[in-house]
Structures are given as structure tokens and as C-alpha cells.
Amino acid sequence: MKNYLPFLLLTAVFSLVSCGSDKKEEADAFMSELDDGLETPAISEETINDILMQIPAPLEISMLMRESGSDYDRTILSNPDKVANYNTQFKQAINLGIYGTDLIYTNIFGKNQEGLAYMKSVKKLADELNIGQFFNLRLIGRLATNNDNLDSIMLITTQNFNEINRYLQEKKRANLSILFLVGGWMEAVHINCKMAIENPEVPALAERIGEQKIILENILLLMSFYAETSPEIKDLHTDMLKLKEAYDKIEITYTYAEPTTQVVDGVLMIVDNSKSTVHITQDNVKEIDQIIEDIRKKLTL
């Protein structure tokens, strides 16, 4: 099964590491002043890649949205003007992921002016977390205003997320990495739920939500490592267990079929003919949507 992570493009805001030596020294000095007594398990690069590699091509996302006939809806996005309200590392990291997802949503619909507001909020949160040295706002702006570059952004930024992850691990702040992922993933499912409810005649939208069941299990496992050392993550983990209860009602069946081979441009390729079927109803979608709404309200106050 190819897990479909619609709009989980928080990695797109980690576009090209542009870290000068002076900025790195400033970042190191700042982080050394923080309480480094908090010992949290590091997230391996392999684990991060396992999750990120399950993100589909952005152009695939765009195609599904357009084929479904979904319209741009600004009201379902987080308000970029509330960025000043996020004054803890927990809120900043979570909302960095949320804003990153919203940024690409505006891009897919060509809302470049609104996307600019999200770019500014993304940069502000990155600076507050002292990882602004990993963000080249001018380059992000140039790429994000041309959706032909979405796949290039994804390819580059998966690698750069690992750079940020390694940096945070060195500074004993690896818990922030999972918060980026959680924020972006949750906003992704939030948007997808709104689309699926608005377009019940397009089953692919609901199926993409159901496919997140496995991703959610992985995320909850990662969060459990930090729940004992962070009250905020513990509370969020508890809230997301309610989301898991809703996902437990969704069944995914796997049908094996023998693989075949075919030649593509002179290269022998193995074709996986096995299929996964997601059994999800509109009631399931609405339940997931409501739980995420409740969690999201706490995170974006």
C-alpha cells in the first residue's frame, strides 16, 4: 500500500540549507543557554525517512484535488496572523508544521499573495526556534510561487529535514522534530477531511484519510518516547489516542497478487500487483474530522 499523505508538505518549508558560519555560531550559542538537562531519545534519520518517503508526489496531490473539483477554502486554514501567540517551543514547533502545510495548499491553488503571509509566519517561527538558518525565504518564495517546482522542493527538502533533525538531536531538542511532523500531518488530514466531506462522491478522498491509519500508529509510537518528559506532548499524545480509536473502526484489507515485470525505456521493472482496500464511510470521516478539529483548536489558540 502506498500511504497517501495529502498536504503533509511541512518539509517544503525546509528549502535548501543556507547556514552561514556566523548564523550557526549564534544558533549554537543560543541553544547552549537553554536547559540541556532534558534527556529525550533521538529520532533516527531512518525513522524520519520512513515517514517522509510515504509522502506522495505533490503533483499527485494537486491532480487529485483538481479532479475532485475541490475549491480553495481559506477558512479551513490556520490564521497566519496568530503567529505571535505561539510563545512556547511546543506551540512554535507544532504550528511550524501546520503553517508549512497551509503554505503549500495556497500554492496548489495559485494563491500566491496569501502564501506570502504563510511564508512570513513560517520564517518567524523558525527564527523563534533558532533554526532560521536552515531557511532561505527568498528561495522558498521563488519556488513556492511556481507549482511546477513542487516535486523539486520535496526531493531537496527531505534531505534538509534530516539536517534539522540532526542539529536538534545534537542540542538535545530532538522532540521538536516529531512536533513538526505531527503539526504538518494533522493539518494534512484536517484539510483532506474537509475535502472529503465536501465531495462525498469522490471516494479517493476518503480512502486517503483511511490510509493514514498506519502513519498515525507510527507517529503515536514516536510521541510515546517523549510523553514522559514533556507534559505538552503527553497531553497531545492522550488527545491523539482518541483519534486512534476512531481509526480503529477503519479496516484495511490486503490482497496479494504475483508481481510481474515490464520494460520501461529499456529498463526492466518489477510491478507490484498486490492491492490494499480501505473500508471507510462518511461517518468515519466526520468522526475523524471532529476529533482533529478539537485537537487543532488547542494547538492554534
How would residue 287 be classed by pLDDT, with cut points 50, 70 and 90? Answer: very high
Domain membership flag for residue 5:
no
State the average pLDDT over residues 103-124: 84
Q: Tell me whether residue 188 is in a domain.
A: yes
- Whether 98 maps to a domain, the answer reads yes
DSSP the chain: -----TT--GGGGS-S----HHHHHHHHHHHHHS------PPPPHHHHHHHHTTSPPHHHHHHHHHHHTPPP-GGGS--GGGGGG--SHHHHHHHHHHHHHHHHHHHHTT-HHHHHHHHHHHHHHHHHTT-GGG--HHHHHHHHT-GGGHHHHHHHHHHHHHHHHHHHHHTT-THHHHHHHHHHHHHHHHHHHHHHHH-TT-HHHHHHHHTHHHHHHHHHHHHHTTTTT-HHHHHHHHHHHHHHHHHTT-EEEEE----EEEEETTEEEEE---EEEEE--HHHHHHHHHHHHHHHHHHT-
- Report pLDDT for 25: 47
Place of cell 527538502: 157
What span, in angstroms and rounded, lies between the C-alpha atoms of 204 and 163? 34
C-alpha cell at 138: 527568498
**Residue 153 pLDDT:** 53
Which of the pair, 57 or 292, is modelled with greater confidence?
292
- Full-model pTM: 0.77
Q: What is the pLDDT of residues 26-64, one digit of tens each?
A: 434 433 433 333 455 566 656 655 665 554 444 455 566
- The answer to whether residue 4 sits within a structural domain is no
Residue that wins the pLDDT comparison between 6 and 271: 271
Three cell numbers at 56? 506522495
As a three-state string, the secondary structure of 124-161 is HHHHHCCCHHHCCHHHHHHHHCCHHHHHHHHHHHHHHH
Domain with 192, as residue range(s), is: 10-251+281-299
* 192 is a domain residue: yes
Q: Is residue 185 part of a domain?
A: yes
274-286 residue pLDDT tens = 888 999 999 999 9
The verdict on residue 180 lying in a domain is yes
pLDDT tens digit sequence for 55-67: 444 445 556 666 6
pLDDT for residue 147 is more than 60: no
How many domains does the chain contain in total?
1
Tell me, yes or no, whether 174 lies in a domain.
yes
